[in-house]
Amino acid sequence: MRCGVILVIIGFLFVSSSKGWGADWESFGGNATADFYYDTENITHPSKDVIRVYVKQLYTEKGVSDLVGALGVKFRTVRHSVDSYEVQCVDKKFRLLSSVVYSTDEEILESFNYQESTWKVIVPESIIDTLYKTLCK
């Protein structure tokens, strides 16, 4: 009986953990369209003052509706996306490198490549500003 209680407690700890399998997704904010997480295990530094990070957006109903309105009915089953960002800590700039959009069945709905994207200034109090403050301590 005691062993069963211990297994239940251990199982609860695994289920309630904010960490996922294969990546350590840590929450850093949210808004009306999505909750945002960054992968703490796969952060890289392609150059001295640049941080590359994966960000997961877990879409709300409003977020799904907005995507359908902007990109079409193909996105009605969207659940989340995983985006690759680079952040310049010194200059307080960022750029989006890629995005993969997943359905509720974990199938890829679309992937986008922005390798030639330009650096943009981080707007104060935006979700990217929250990410910047989290990464560039």
CATH number of the domain bearing residue 104: 2.40.128.710
Residue 27, in any domain of the structure: yes
The DSSP-derived string for the chain is: -HHHHHHHHHHHHHHH-S--SSS-EEEEEE-SSEEEEEESSS-EEEETTEEEEEEEEEE-HHHHHHHHHHH-GGGTTEEEEEEEEEEETTTTEEEEEEEEEEETTS-EEEEEE-TTPPPEEPPTTSHHHHHHHHH--
Range of the structural domain that residue 124 is part of: 20-135
The pLDDT tens digits for 31-81 are 999 999 999 999 999 998 899 999 999 999 999 999 999 999 999 999 999
- Confidence (pTM): 0.80
- What percentage of the chain exceeds 90 in pLDDT? 79
Number of domains in the chain: 1
